């Protein structure tokens, strides 16, 4: 199979086979569970400000549709390709299944650096991408959400484009919209809030007081910044933060509120506290209690894993830890890993709440959303910790096994057509 290629897809595949071995899934059942149901590739031509026409490659992968519509973000990033999007869709499947959401995994992307576009070009591209996807998505088929390089405004354009095409407002076609356009309270901070919430669960398990703990957060977008704010709100000293422009470390602690305000105003961290700059790769291996990778895939490799000086890894990003790093971490029992499909599930859980509210046209208070979110995360946390203990496996294997089992069971019960 050459359609899905590349290191990220290989990683998702390798992880799946580790789980399939653990669950003793017969070889002839594995392809059915792993290979994406649908993959869509489109060309998006748009008018640029200088009068040129530029064409951008767009993708959407629907991993499975067995439990309900596909669900997952759409990212705008220069390097996306079909293999990476497929891997991310597969991870969304296990994530949604672990959280018991009625969804299959989906993911989309456009190969573009969004910072290279003007606002108007970004709008043109967002609208054209959704326009190209209209035959393949729908509130009961595939529901998009924000991911790297996209935000509430992009979701509003997606929703508007879809709605204009159908002639009626259909807010439930995407989640992560502005609150004034059918979005839910709490969605913006949901992922980061969940990362901090589960990091506290892990600290508690290790007997570390939050007020005595330190944290390093890699990535300062929507997920990383809210994770940092959530940790700092309960007294954790955030000593390191980074984005694609700079990595900062100060053992005395950084002012994350000021950093978040700076990043919101300037779009980047560079210029905020340049005197504290360190090498981005070194930031990961500096001493801390909580290390939260909240940026891209495959940042903790085998070499870095052997050098880590943290007690908890709270994976805000999707796929930040390679299988080689997992092998190294298996020898380092002092480090507790909150795996991505558990740790960053707050986003899609609140997306599910948004979809439910949109379908019912009945909206909840922020307290209601956050309370339901924390309960859902607590349920998943307990399931994963108990399973890891019972089976004597890593938390990642436990989390993925629960997700894979749920999808497998649904496929088995529904049978094979025809």
Sites of contact with ligand GLU (CB under 6 A): 71-73, 145, 147, 175-176, 318, 344, 347-348, 351
DSSP state of 393: -
Identity of the residue, 191 or 239, whose beta carbon is nearer to ligand GLU in the bound complex: 191
Identity of the residue, 69 or 210, whose beta carbon is nearer to ligand GLU in the bound complex: 69
Q: What's the min distance (Å) between Cβ of 106 and ligand GLU?
A: 8
Alpha-carbon distance values, 312 to 160, 300, 333 (Å): 41, 13, 11
Collapsing DSSP states into helix, strand and coil, what is residue 25?
coil
Using CB positions, name the residue nearest to ligand GLU.
73
Q: What's the min distance (Å) between Cβ of 179 and ligand GLU?
A: 15
Beta strands, E only, 48-85: 53-62, 70-77
Identity of the residue, 73 or 219, whose beta carbon is nearer to ligand GLU in the bound complex: 73
Calpha distance 16→22 (Å, rounded): 10
Q: Is 270 a catalytic residue?
A: no
Q: What's the min distance (Å) between Cβ of 344 and ligand GLU?
A: 6
DSSP state of 321: B
Q: What's the min distance (Å) between Cβ of 6 and ligand GLU?
A: 18
DSSP of 191-220, one letter per residue? HHHHHHHHHHHHHHHHT--GGG-EEEEE--
Q: Please tell me which residue in 71, 95, 107, 177 is annotated as part of the active site.
A: 107
Identity of the residue, 80 or 328, whose beta carbon is nearer to ligand GLU in the bound complex: 80
Omega cis (within 30) before 416: no
State the sign of the Cα–Cα–Cα–Cα dihedral 292, 296, 297, 301.
negative
Tokens of 123: 């709008």
Q: What's the min distance (Å) between Cβ of 102 and ligand GLU?
A: 13
Identity of the residue, 25 or 122, whose beta carbon is nearer to ligand GLU in the bound complex: 122
Calpha distance 356→79 (Å, rounded): 33
Collapsing DSSP states into helix, strand and coil, what is residue 338?
strand
Question: Which residues face 39 on adjacent strands?
Answer: 61
Which positions are annotated as active-site residues? 107
């Amino acid at each position: 199979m050459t359609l899905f290629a590349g290191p990220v897809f290989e990683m998702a595949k390798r992880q799946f086979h580790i789980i399939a071995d653990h669950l003793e899934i017969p070889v002839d059942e594995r392809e059915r569970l792993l290979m994406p149901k649908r993959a869509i590739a489109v060309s998006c031509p748009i008018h640029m400000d200088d009068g040129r026409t530029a064409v951008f490659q767009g993708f959407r992968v629907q991993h499975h549709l067995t439990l309900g519509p596909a669900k997952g973000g759409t990212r705008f990033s220069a390097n996306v390709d079909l293999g990476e999007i497929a891997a991310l869709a597969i991870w969304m499947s296990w994530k949604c299944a672990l959280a018991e959401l009625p969804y299959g995994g989906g993911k989309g992307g456009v190969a573009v650096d969004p910072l290279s576009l003007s606002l108007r070009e970004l709008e043109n591209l967002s609208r054209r991408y959704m326009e190209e996807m209209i035959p393949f998505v729908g509130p009961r088929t595939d529901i998009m959400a924000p991911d790297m390089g996209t935000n509430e405004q992009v979701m509003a354009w997606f929703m508007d484009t879809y709605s204009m095409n159908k002639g009626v407002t259909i807010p439930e076609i995407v989640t992560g919209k502005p609150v004034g356009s059918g979005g839910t309270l709490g969605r913006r901070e949901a992922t980061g809030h969940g990362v901090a919430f589960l990091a506290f669960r892990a600290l508690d398990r290790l007997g570390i007081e939050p007020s005595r703990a330190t944290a390093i957060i890699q990535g300062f977008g929507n997920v990383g910044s809210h994770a940092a704010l959530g940790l700092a709100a309960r007294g954790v000293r955030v000593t390191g933060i980074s984005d694609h422009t700079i990595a900062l470390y100060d053992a005395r602690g950084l002012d994350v509120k000021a950093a978040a305000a700076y990043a919101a105003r300037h779009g980047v961290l560079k210029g905020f506290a340049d005197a504290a700059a360190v090498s981005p790769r070194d930031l990961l291996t500096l001493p801390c209690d909580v290390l939260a990778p909240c940026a891209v895939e495959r940042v903790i490799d085998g070499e870095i894993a052997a050098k880590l000086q943290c007690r908890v890894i709270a994976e805000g990003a999707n796929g930040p830890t390679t299988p080689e790093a997992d092998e190294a971490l298996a020898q380092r029992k002092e480090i507790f890993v909150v795996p991505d499909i558990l740790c960053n599930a707050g986003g899609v859980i609140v997306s599910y709440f948004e979809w439910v509210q949109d379908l019912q046209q009945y909206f909840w208070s922020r307290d209601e959303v956050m309370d339901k979110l924390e309960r859902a995360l607590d349920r998943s946390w307990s399931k994963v910790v108990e399973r890891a203990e019972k089976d004597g496996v890593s938390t990642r294997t436990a989390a993925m096994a629960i997700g894979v089992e749920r999808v497998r069971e649904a496929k088995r019960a529904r049978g094979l057509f025809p």
